[in-house]
Amino acid sequence: MSKKLKEIPKFASEAEEREFWLTHDTTEYFDWSKAKRVTFPNLKPTTQSISLRLPLWMLESIKSTANRQDVPYQSLIKVWLNEKLEELHHGAK
């Protein structure tokens, strides 16, 4: 016999829902044995523009490297930053 699940309340905002799930057990509201894996192939990560001041020689070097690799220089910067973060979080390879 399956246990009776509680009804999920209506939330006024995402913040309210976030707070609710921080303090409640989802197994009281969902039967996870019936859950199915889904993918969101068109979901793009949220990004935010920043302003970053670099020495001119550094920017020119980055642009030159990006040009040789035939990629936009801002994309190359993101790849390098991600590689460094992975290295820091998962240890040097």
Q: What is the mean pLDDT of residues 80-84?
A: 96
Whether 51 contacts 42, CB under 8 Å: no
Both structure tokens of 17: 């829902």
Which SS3 state, helix, strand or coil, does residue 30 take? coil
59 and 28 within one domain: no
Determine the pLDDT at residue 92. Answer: 58
Q: How many domains does the chain have?
A: 2
Q: What is the mean pLDDT of residues 70-79?
A: 96
In a domain, 70, yes or no: yes
pLDDT in tens, 12-62: 999 999 999 999 999 999 999 999 988 888 888 888 999 999 999 999 999
58 and 21 within one domain: no
Half-sphere exposure of 83 (CA within 13 A, CB side): 7
In a domain, 43, yes or no: no
End-to-end Cα distance, the chain: 50
Determine the pLDDT at residue 43. Answer: 86
In a domain, 46, yes or no: no
Distance of alpha carbon 24 from alpha carbon 7, whole angstroms:
12
In a domain, 42, yes or no: no
Taking the complete model, does pTM exceed 0.75, yes or no? no
In a domain, 8, yes or no: yes
Contacts of 14 (CB under 8 A, 6+ apart): none
Which domain, by its residues, includes 20?
1-34
